[in-house]
Amino acid sequence: MSLDQDTIRRIARLARLGVDESENETYARSLSDIFAFVEQLNAVDTTGIEPMAHPLDARQRLRPDEVTESNQRDKFQKIAPRVEAGLYLVPRVIE
Amino acid sequence: MEWEVVIGLEIHAQLATRSKIFSGASTAYGAEPNTQACAVDLGLPGVLPVLNEKVVELAARFGLATHSTVARRSVFARKNYFYPDLPKGYQISQFELPIVHDGYIDIDLDDDTTRRIGITRAHLEEDAGKSLHEDFHGATGIDLNRAGTPLLEIVSEPDMRSAKEAVAYMKKIHALVRYLEICDGNMQEGSFRCDANVSVRPKGQEEFGTRTEIKNINSFRFVERAINYEVERQIDVLEAGGEIVQETRLYDADRDETRSMRSKEEANDYRYFPDPDLLPVILDDDFIEAVRKTLPELPDAKRERFMTQYSLSHRDAVILTGSREMASYFELVVEASGGEGRLAANWVTGELSGLLNREGIEIDESPVSAEHLGGLLKRIADNTISGKIAKQVFEAMCRGEGDADTVIEQKGLKQITDSGAIEKLVREVLDNNPKQVEQYRGGQEKLLGFFVGQVMKATQGKANPGEVNKILKRLLSGD
């Protein structure tokens, strides 16, 4: 499978990555190479093998429904770029 | 052309837990902004989500109550999109392997029929935070208290054929999650909200039309209005030769219309993949059987029981089992009345519901307690008062004038059942109205009502109506 430049633009946009137009071709080639490498796995017969959801063969541990966290807003907001009235401020989102 | 409407709903029910789905932060509503958003909820580097056992139990409860399969193995996935109130850049949800799938519920329609609506799946996920778009010096404010709140997203099959059916389905799910105590159902606080997928197709056509999704509807009334608007819009577009664009639309209640949310369209590729931070959730039969034992009597079973145990009509039983609070109020009334099931049904669905509607309050805020209402019905049943007088007593109870016996005593409303006393009154009425007596005897039998009225007037409605009728007829028939 090889990726074209439109696909590169699209996935860069979805991932919010700024990719310079001049680099598009390089990315398309590199990513296509990675795909080609991974595609070798298709040669393996996986009939009857249940797909893994996680590399560890273990089950999710559950925690009891208890409130264990206290309010640490001041601490968290100290490292935020902008806060006001207890809110985190971000560039205006226009709906 | 005749069109058929096709609707499927996605309902988000906030699960009733103390702490969040993947962290130990509180889920209490109404706290100061960001005081309940911990490092996990904020998506700070190095944190690890750990699943709350309660959400698994609550989801399983829903699955068992809707004839669904509760998955022995389910998997969390990342749903990737960018929005400021989603700190991680992805929402933890379930995609290919949801915890609950392939069930159904039966909804009750106005014409007393029921209709089966399929439940495709119900999966666990975390809620996002809240964006405040009021002007903060040109910025948007973000409150992440809600981020990480556990949700059960309940996805129906496209089985509904009208806005009314969609409302009936939503109401049924709402009642069910409250019966099951898995969600408080508070729509104002956003604990229960829905998205509607709507399309139309020419009647008789197998294939579905292109659908639109109406987002975030938070009341039963709006669901009906939003769907009706959207159906009209789609039919207008199609009949004018246009095409429906698959898109997300927002319902604006003030203008009663749906509007396209084009800004969200482009992001509609969520690139789901299994969340490496979380392992598969494995449930065994013991767990599922233990959850089954915690199930309360469900609305459908309760409705059937009410119909047989209290000889109620289907319609009354549907109304009285509409919510758990309503059902338990009704049963308390029956108990306090000494077993007057049908009388209790009449009063709860009639007089009491009228009062609640007028006051705009819920049954658990009723000014008349179930015990007091039951006490009143007891006095109707033992002929202490007539049904008509009972309404007077009911109004007095609403005003807080005490229980039925107190009101009856204080106002002297006890029914006159002494036939001697009634006969004396009847004779007086007949003596005072010789002309009418003559007319009655001459064949104008509808004058009986006139005489009853006169007797009632003389006793301020306290004479036993059955007794009055009997005596009147006897005396008028020529005695």
B38-58 per-position pLDDT tens digit: 999 999 999 999 999 999 999
Q: Check if the beta carbon of residue B124 is closer than 8 Å to that of residue B20.
A: no
Which residue has better confidence, B419 or B251? B251
Percent of chain B past pLDDT 90, that is, above it, reads 66
The answer to whether A60 faces chain B, any CB pair under 8 Å, is yes
Residue contact B51–A85, C-beta within 8 A: no
Q: What is the DSSP letter of B112?
A: S
Give CA–CA dist B232/B431, Å, rounded. Answer: 68
| pLDDT value for A94 | 67
Average pLDDT over chain B reads 91
| pLDDT value for B457 | 84
pLDDT digit string, tens, across residues B113-156: 889 999 999 999 999 999 988 777 889 999 999 999 999 999 99
**Confidence band for B267, pLDDT divided at 50, 70 and 90:** low
pLDDT digit string, tens, across residues B300-337: 999 999 999 999 999 999 999 988 899 999 999 999 99
Find the residue in A nearest to B282 (Cα). A59
Which residue has better confidence, B428 or B54? B54
Q: How many CB pairs below 8 Å do chains A and B form together?
A: 129
Q: Check if the beta carbon of residue B259 is closer than 8 Å to that of residue B250.
A: yes
Q: For B11-38, give one letter per residue: b (16+ CB within 10 A) or e.
A: bbbbbbbebbbbbbbbbebebebbbbbb
| pLDDT value for B262 | 63
Tell me: pLDDT of B264 over 60.
no
Residues of B in contact with A6 (CB under 8 A): none
| pLDDT value for B413 | 76
**Confidence band for B388, pLDDT divided at 50, 70 and 90:** confident
Q: Check if the beta carbon of residue B476 is closer than 8 Å to that of residue B446.
A: no
Domains of chain B, start order: 3-290 (no CATH), 297-411 (no CATH), 419-476 (1.10.10.410)
**Confidence band for B266, pLDDT divided at 50, 70 and 90:** low
Q: Choose the closest CB to A59 out of B32, B37, B279.
A: B279
3-state secondary structure of A90: strand
Domain boundary assignment for chain A: 5-43
Tokens matching residue B446:
């509808």
Residue contact B261–A95, C-beta within 8 A: yes
A13 Cα to chain B: minimum distance (Å) = 9
Residue contact A53–B131, C-beta within 8 A: no
What is the average per-residue pLDDT within B273-286? 95
Residue contact B139–A82, C-beta within 8 A: yes
3-state secondary structure of B126: strand
CA-angle at B125, arms to B122 and B127, nearest 5°: 125
Residue contact A93–B279, C-beta within 8 A: no
pLDDT digit string, tens, across residues A15-73: 889 999 999 999 999 999 999 999 999 899 999 988 887 888 889 999 999 999 999 99
| pLDDT value for A95 | 53
Helical segments of B220-362, H only: 220-239, 262-265, 285-293, 299-309, 314-320, 324-337, 341-347, 353-359
